[in-house]
Amino acid sequence: MEQELKLNELEDALAGFDYPLDHEAAVASCEGVTLLLADGTESLAAVVADSNADQFDSVDDLTSEVMSNLPRNAVGEPYQSEGDG
């Protein structure tokens, strides 16, 4: 599937998979999906492939793993700070 997703759409998209899902199946299921990030784009399949998890038992497991494997600057709007002001 060719698709572009914002991070706030990620969990809903991953909810469409049948869990539990092994690592290889998760990577294959994410092929063709591009994440639109604050600092550019990332292939969802590549982000999942970087995971060390053998299996994802739920959408929460996979979402958490994706979020932890994204570059630090991927989340948020550029030049915005939650702590200033």
pLDDT in tens, 33-72: 999 998 899 999 999 999 999 999 999 999 999 999 997 7
pTM: 0.82
Furthest-apart CA atoms within the chain: distance in Å? 45
Q: Which helix (H) or strand (E) is 11 found in, with range?
A: helix 10-14
Query: What pLDDT is stored for residue 38 in this prediction?
Result: 86
Hey, how many other C-beta atoms are within 10 angstroms of the C-beta on 30?
23
**Residue among 52, 17, 20 nearest 31 (CA):** 17
Give the tokens for residue 41: 């784009």
Backbone angles phi, psi at 43, to 5 degrees: -75, 125
